Structure formats: structure tokens, C-alpha cells
Structure 1
Amino acid sequence: MDIVDIDGIATRYQVIGSGDPLLMYAPGGFDATLEKWSTQGVYAKIKPVDHLSRHYSCIIFDRRECGHSGGRVEKVGFSDYVQQGIGLLDHLKIDKAYLMGGCMGCCPVAAFGVMHPERVRSMVLFWPVGGAKYRLASLQRFAEHLGFVRANGLQAVVDLVKAEGKAFNADSRGGPWASVIKHDAKFAADYVQQDVGRYALIVEAFGRTMYDRDTAPGAEPEEMLACQVPALVVPGNDASHATSAAWYLHECLPKSEFWNVPVSEQTEAATNPVLLDFLKKF
């Protein structure tokens, strides 16, 4: 594993395999670590890095505020995740790469495609998050964190995280900076010194910015409709990965393909050839 500073925030990353670069935004919500590509849900089943790294240099990393990457208390939006990816490509001296996102990682990939199309060869959007249930559950998580802060204070957040060690998506009380609090003592010390009222405004803006629609967040539809980056959309089908959100991305991205296959048929043997065949086109 390596660590690089990107805009004052540490990013933990690893490059696996060889060939053309494939930048991979991990699944896992607010625990989007590079390990999730091999340990979480459908990704543990299909093993995409094992297969893709035979043909590509797979760049996997902990998204900011996740795992062993750093963070900063500020209103975070998908454009900030895009800048983390840009910084990582710049560090590796890569001008243009393939992109793949899993789960919530699809949001910054779509945003990347519309913000910096000149640096993207194509995009794979695997199980994009979205849907009304996803939006409501996500906003509830932010509300529960703020309720805990208002009732107990910021020191209680630090104490909880250090005792339990859970990421935001596993225990909403710890908040979106839980992973950074867990591994960065200086960050934790600074965190408790904040004004609670100001902190609450930042958290409210953070949640509202990221979960502002009942379909796939990340990029505006008008931006995607003008985007000429080729894309492959692979749908999920549960409360966090509404199939309708995947169809929405396909409808908005004019050069997208939709792999219209039920989740039950998205096996390791079936899925990886589809991913490879798509990537080889561009």
C-alpha cells in the first residue's frame, strides 16, 4: 500500500496488475476502502480486480474520509471525490484512464466523466446507488449523527468511535468522519474543538448536497446528456441500488450500454467477460 497527499488529504492506494490504467472508485458507502473490491457483497462473488488486473493496471484506493485515507471537516460533494481521483492520476503521471465505480463509487465516476471527459476513456457503472429508499435512509443517517452530537457533544463522538471503531455506514452516531477519527489522533483532537453549531451546519449541507434526488446522484442530468464518454451500466436491485437508478444513468448517458441481466445471473463467469469486452472497445 502507498500513501499520497492530495490537496492536503492523505490517500491510501494500491496498483494491481499491468496494462492500461483503470481507476476504480470502491463500493462500500462511507466505508469505501480498496479492500471492498474483494470482500463486499457482489464484488466478493464476481472478483472484478482478480480478472481485470490480468489486462489492466487496476488503481484501487480508499476514498477520502474512508479507511486509512484522510479527511477534512467541510461540506463534501461528489466533485471533491473527483478531485481525489484526478490527484491520484496526476501523482501516477497518467493522462487518461478507464474508470469503474461500484455502488456509491458510481456517483463520482459519473461526475468525473462530465467534469473531465478528456481524461476518461470509458466508464463502468456497476450497481449504481439510488432510489427513494436510498435517499431517505442516507439522510436519516446524517440526522441520527447530528441528534447524537446535539445530545452528547463532539467528545462523545470521538469516544464512541475509539471504543467501537465502526465507520459511518455501520454506526450513524459516529458521523462521516468516523474513519478519520479512528486512525488520526491529531484529527480527533482538532475535531472536538469545533463549534457544535457550525459543525451541524456543515453536516446538514453535506447530506443535502449528496442526496438531493430519488435517483442516481453524482452528476446533473443535463451534464450527462451532453457527455460523450462511453459507459457500461450494470444494474443492482435492492433498497440501496434501485434498478430505476441504473436505467436513469443509461437514459442520460448517450453513449451508454445497459447490461440488462438480473442480479441472480451476474455471476463471476458471466460478468467479467462482459466488463472486459466493453473496456476493450475503447
Structure 2
Amino acid sequence: MPEVVIDGIKTRYELIGSGPPLLMYAPGGFDATVEKWSTQGVYARIKLLEHLPKKYRCIVFDRRECGQSGGRVERVTWAHYVAQGKGLLEHLNIRRAHLMGACMGCCPVAAFAVAHPASVISMVLYWPVGGAKYRIKAHQRFLDHLAFVREHGLPAVVSHVKKEGKAFNADAPGGPWASVIRSDAAFAESYAKKDPQEYQNLVLGMCRALFDRDTAPGAEPEDLLKLDIPALIVPGRDESHATSAARYLE
């Protein structure tokens, strides 16, 4: 697949089909890769990438810190994910596009629409994440990672990730940069040398920035109310995709 560097970070992406551009933020939480559109849960059943490319130019990509895309140790917020998508559109010389998000991918889509409303033709939000149980589980995952760091240190995180080979979703001790540690030896070496206290403060701030509410995160309600962008919202119905999160977005 082709790659492009956006804000100093490699993005792996693919263009599928022809027609109006459709930028797609993948499902999968902290393992949001191109492949998840075809392999994960409900998306494996509905086979979007077998249908949408017949009418749209689908732009799929590994979100930063996921899959074969790169990353950077910083307090990542929804704005960082927005910048990746906007940068990809600019690289492709696309001024306006339809946007689709699935699962946690709905959050940067909503934030993208708020930040760049003139660039968004329409939005599809499929099974948006949210709900009290989702927030609690997300916070606990970050806390479990930091507990591992305090007990064993950052070099041990690198060793653990290389041994287990799992993303943050499936293995909390590996942390939110697990995929980059696994795919980039230079990044892993630099990561292991970070100051532990600064790292802890950064990770706590990232957790608060991303998962700050018991409904759908990503954009403030006052900003969403200002938008005049057609949107289709498909509600979820489990602990990570509470129906109430979709109702909030509606």
C-alpha cells in the first residue's frame, strides 16, 4: 500500500473504487487499520468495502499509532486524528469529501466536521462508541498500562510488546504506542528512553482528552449544534457502543 508522511508521521493508506471521495476512519479502537473494515465484527458481515467502492472513491488508512502507520509520543487528542485525515485529503488534492467513521472512528469524524465544516459533504457515523461502561473500561486500560510502567519501566514495555505482538486494545500493558513499537525499531529505542514521570503525565492527559464523558466523545455539543451537514447515524447496542451515544449525536 502507498504511504505518505503527514505532520512528520507515516500514514499507510489505500484508494479503492471510483466516484466522489469518501474518507473512512476505521473501527478497531487502538487497532484501527484498513483491514478492520473487512475483518471486525459487524463490518465483516456487511462488507462495506465490497459495496461502497462501486459508487465512491474510498480512502482507507491505518490511523496513526495503528497498524503500519507511524506515531509520536505526545498527548494525542481527537485533533491529532483530524489532522491526519485532513492531511491525507490534501495530499490527494481533495478539497471536499464524504466522511465515514465506525466505532471509535466516529469521534474524529465528528471532530473533523467541527474543525473543517467546509470540507465535509456528509457524514456517516456507524456504531459510535460511548456510554459510562465504555469510558470506565477505557480509563482502566490506560491505568493498567501505567501500573505496568511503574512496576517494570518503559524498556520492559518494549520487550513485552515485541513478545506479545498485540495492540493496546488486546493487551493493556503494551500501551497506546504498541503498534509503533512493534513496527519501528528506531521508535522503540527512543520510546524506551523516555522519562517515566513525564510519560505518565502525558498518558494521563491523553486519557482525559480522549475519554472525558459518558456519551460519544470527539466534539463539543455546542459545536455540533452549529453544523449544517447531512449525517446518517447507525446506533450500536453493546457496552462499548451504547445506543445512548448515537442518540446524543442525533
Q: TM class, shorter-chain normalised?
A: over 0.9
In structure 1, the partner of 2:110 is 110
> What amino acid is aligned across from residue 176 of structure 2 in structure 1?
P
Distance (Å, rounded) in 2 between the aligned partners of 1:71 and 1:168: 14
Structure 1 residue 152: deviation in Å?
0.1
Does residue 1:47 correspond to 2:47, yes or no?
yes
Distance (Å, rounded) in 2 between the aligned partners of 1:154 and 1:80: 24
In structure 1, the partner of 2:211 is 211
Alpha-carbon RMSD across the aligned residues, in angstroms, is 0.4
The alignment partner of 1:4 has SS state of strand
In structure 1, the partner of 2:90 is 90
> What amino acid is aligned across from residue 193 of structure 1 in structure 2?
K
Counterparts of residues 120-139 of structure 1 (less than 5 Å):
120-139=120-139
Structure 1 residue 243: deviation in Å?
0.2
Counterparts of residues 127-276 of structure 1 (less than 5 Å):
127-250=127-250
In structure 1, the partner of 2:62 is 62
Structure 1 residue 249: deviation in Å?
0.2
Structure 1 residue 176: deviation in Å?
0.3
Distance (Å, rounded) in 1 between the aligned partners of 2:65 and 2:244: 28
Distance (Å, rounded) in 1 between the aligned partners of 2:35 and 2:43: 10
- Please identify runs of 4+ aligned residues in structure 1 that moved more than 3 A: none
Distance (Å, rounded) in 1 between the aligned partners of 2:2 and 2:41: 25
Q: What whole-Å deviation, never above 9, does each CA across 1:26-58 have from its counterpart, x for those lacking one?
A: 000000001000000000000111100000000
In structure 2, the partner of 1:99 is 99
Q: What whole-Å deviation, never above 9, does each CA across 1:78-113 have from its counterpart, x for those lacking one?
A: 011000000000000000000000000000000011
> What amino acid is aligned across from residue 124 of structure 2 in structure 1?
V
Distance (Å, rounded) in 1 between the aligned partners of 2:107 and 2:173: 24
> What amino acid is aligned across from residue 62 of structure 2 in structure 1?
D
Distance (Å, rounded) in 2 between the aligned partners of 1:50 and 1:25: 17
Distance (Å, rounded) in 2 between the aligned partners of 1:134 and 1:173: 19
In structure 2, the partner of 1:15 is 15
Q: What whole-Å deviation, never above 9, does each CA across 1:239-260 have from its counterpart, x for those lacking one?
A: 000000000000xxxxxxxxxx
> What amino acid is aligned across from residue 146 of structure 2 in structure 1?
L
> What amino acid is aligned across from residue 162 of structure 1 in structure 2?
K
Distance (Å, rounded) in 2 between the aligned partners of 1:211 and 1:152: 26
The alignment partner of 1:30 has SS state of helix
Between the two proteins, the alignment pairs up a number of residues equal to 250
Distance (Å, rounded) in 1 between the aligned partners of 2:101 and 2:195: 35
In structure 2, the partner of 1:253 is none
The alignment partner of 1:125 has SS state of strand
Structure 1 residue 65: deviation in Å?
0.3
The alignment partner of 2:169 has SS state of coil
Structure 1 residue 232: deviation in Å?
0.5
Distance (Å, rounded) in 2 between the aligned partners of 1:6 and 1:50: 28
In structure 2, the partner of 1:256 is none
In structure 2, the partner of 1:32 is 32
State the TM-score, normalized to the length of structure 2: 1.00
Structure 1 residue 230: deviation in Å?
1.0
Structure 1 residue 229: deviation in Å?
1.1
Distance (Å, rounded) in 1 between the aligned partners of 2:169 and 2:205: 18
> What amino acid is aligned across from residue 102 of structure 2 in structure 1?
G
In structure 2, the partner of 1:279 is none
Q: Runs of 5+ in structure 2 lacking a partner?
A: none
> What amino acid is aligned across from residue 6 of structure 2 in structure 1?
I
The alignment partner of 1:100 has SS state of strand
The alignment partner of 1:53 has SS state of helix
Q: Runs of 5+ in structure 1 lacking a partner?
A: 251-282
Structure 1 residue 191: deviation in Å?
0.4
| Fraction of identical pairs, as percent | 66
Distance (Å, rounded) in 1 between the aligned partners of 2:38 and 2:234: 18
